Amino acid sequence: MITAVILGAMPQNLMAQTNYRLTADKDVSIKVLGTSNVHDWTMASTVMESQGDFKLNGDHQLTALSSFSFSLNAKSLKSEHASMDDRTYKTMKADQFPKVVYKLNSAVITEVQKGKYAIKTTGDLTIAGATQTITMVVIAVVNPDNTITCTGAQPIKLTDYKIDPPTFMLGAMKVKNDLTIQFNLQYKNNQLISKAN
């Protein structure tokens, strides 16, 4: 009887935990917000790769996130000024370290209202070849079509990643050490994406 119960439960558990992949939705983006002694600035990208193993129960409630990864091509980040972009890529050592990478270590999920969750995450963020363990809160929403939208903002310091804050215009503009990474990401069941393709 015990064996039958275990075998009967296995397909349900396998179905519940599913790999989700980042969609190509037009609203998907990541932004880097910074400031300087002259003005605020923003760099943004819509070109990235990400996937995670989200676990939903029978009521479509998010109960676990067991793995998650994110990768961004550093040179896909663009501002309104090409000269600033080139200087930023040089500062980030983008030729030597072309990817900005994040890998989840742990996640604790709290439901804040029906279909909306606060996920306290701990993971490793690698920029310019330097890795720091960061803790951040991600807001996840399970949408009616079972896609999952993840949003949030995370402050970082350039010097934590061995990056000296760059200067522009012969030193007239000096970028501050503190940045904020802001993201709006949408995930879809990887099996459904594969079938659509």
Backbone angles phi, psi at 45, to 5 degrees: -145, 150
Q: Please report, for the chain, the start and end positions of each structural domain, with discontinuous segments joined by +.
A: 19-196
Q: DSSP 3-state assignment of 159?
A: helix
* Interval 59-64 mean pLDDT: 92
Can you name the residues that pair with 175 across neighbouring β-strands? Answer: 36
**How many beta carbons lie within 10 A of that of residue 122, not counting itself?**
13
Alpha-carbon span 1 to 23, nearest angstrom:
43
* Interval 11-26 mean pLDDT: 71
Select the more confidently predicted residue: 48 or 195: 48
pLDDT tens digits for range 88-103: 999 999 999 999 999 9
Q: Which residues, 6+ apart, have CB-to-CB distance to 155 below 8 Å?
A: 178, 179, 180, 181
Instruction: Provide the CATH topology of domain 19-196.
Output: Lipocalin (2.40.128)
Q: CA Rg, the chain, in Å?
A: 20
pLDDT tens digits for range 121-143: 999 999 999 999 999 999 999 99
pLDDT at 16: 54
The answer to whether residues 124 and 132 touch, using CB atoms and an 8 Å cutoff, is: yes
The answer to whether residues 80 and 88 touch, using CB atoms and an 8 Å cutoff, is: no
DSSP letter at 175 equals B
Q: Which residues, 6+ apart, have CB-to-CB distance to 197 below 8 Å?
A: none
pLDDT at 20: 96
**How many beta carbons lie within 10 A of that of residue 97, not counting itself?**
16
Report CA 166 to chain centroid distance, whole Å. Answer: 24
Q: DSSP 3-state assignment of 4?
A: helix
Select the more confidently predicted residue: 43 or 192: 43
pLDDT at 39: 84
The answer, yes or no, to whether residue 153 has pLDDT greater than 90, is yes
